[in-house]
Amino acid sequence: SLNCLDWSLLTPATEEVLALAEEVKGRFQGDPSFEYSLAEINPEAAARLVQSGKEPVMKEEARLIATIEQIDRAVGIVPRGAFVKTPLGSVHENRHFEGLSLVEAKKLSSYFHFTEPTNLKNKTLLEKADLDPSTDFLNSLEHDIPQGKGSWSIQLEKGGSVVVLRSLLWLGLTFYHVPMTKQFGYVYFGTGEKNLDLPFML
């Protein structure tokens, strides 16, 4: 939206746009039609675009689409058990999910990335023995790099009635969950820049 009154959907991000957006550094300009010159940012990527008959520029609108996709992939999370996987492989919202207990809600292992799992196949048989294939089919936050609480900050708000997780990789991403209820979600208020200094801040 340009005026907070009229809204339109963004198109899905392609892998090509995601790769180009990784090259663009700095803050957003606030103008969807602003064009970043890729020749100045990455001459090789610009040359490939010219060879394929495309202009070596990237509009801010495309960068915004890619940044939203990057944030969703990297730090879009859900509580354990909020979604289930059927034996046929489809994923559905778990109608029996009643929220995490307060004890479980304070653990990083109780939250999963809501994206295609990447490191589940690397677990040993002993580790897999404790997993429930219907609920533990996503990557847990406890395996994020840097491990432990290096990528996330967990806090209790309102006297322990709300658990808040904040991403230290994408500063401005806040996830909340009200234990013993179905209420959870996340919101991002940030500059659209990944915190590449995170390893030096620990």
Question: What is the spatial order of strands in the sheet that 184-188 belongs to?
Answer: 152-157, 162-167, 173-177, 184-188
pLDDT of residue 132: 67
pLDDT of residue 121: 54
Query: Which of 164, 178, 172 has the alpha carbon at shortest distance from 195?
Result: 172
**Cα 58 from Cα 20, distance rounded (Å):** 8
**Cα 187 from Cα 190, distance rounded (Å):** 10
pLDDT of residue 147: 64
Query: Which of 77, 75, 83 has the alpha carbon at shortest distance from 136?
Result: 83
Domain ranges of the chain: 15-74, 77-200
Label residue 36 by pLDDT band (50, 70, 90). Answer: confident
pLDDT average, residue stretch 9-34: 88
pLDDT digit string, tens, across residues 60-93? 999 999 999 999 999 999 999 999 988 888 888 9
**Cα 44 from Cα 67, distance rounded (Å):** 21
pLDDT digit string, tens, across residues 121-140? 555 544 555 566 677 778 88
In DSSP terms, 185 is beta-bridged to 176
What is this structure's pTM? 0.81
